[in-house]
Amino acid sequence: MSALLPEAFADLEPFAAKWCLPTEHERYTARLASTMQEMQAFYDAVVSRAEDAMSYLERLPYDGLPEDALNLLHLLYSMIQVSFPVEVWSQPRVPDSGSASFDCLSEPMP
């Protein structure tokens, strides 16, 4: 199987298949389907490399990211998606939200 992420981020590859998701809906669905232990491990790994990842991506053309760099960006988006459950709520769902849900009408570009 070929790598999904740039070589410099090979240490994050174990998380790539699950978390390199192109849409907010997919990222939110993955969050809800994950345990807190899975999200904590993912969050800890990516947060420690987030500044390096952002620096790497800033050197590339935003409107023409290679696929591995786009996957890295999606990985960062997923890290943001799990940040509140990990840092604040200690659960995948928004507390006291019952069966409420939301649909994202637009996606960040790229």
Tens of pLDDT, residue by residue over 52-102, are 999 999 999 988 999 999 999 999 999 998 988 787 766 666 545 555 555
Do 4 and 72 form a contact (C-beta atoms < 8 A)?
no
Task: Write down the pTM of the prediction.
Answer: 0.82
pLDDT given for residue 87 in this prediction:
73
pLDDT given for residue 85 in this prediction:
79
pLDDT given for residue 54 in this prediction:
96
pLDDT given for residue 96 in this prediction:
52
Please name the residue that has the structure tokens 């006291």.
96
List Cβ neighbours of 44 (8 Å cut-off, separation of 6 or more).
none
Q: What is the pLDDT of residues 30-43, one digit of tens each?
A: 988 999 899 999 99
Supply the DSSP symbol for 70. Answer: H
- The amino acid sitting at 24 is E
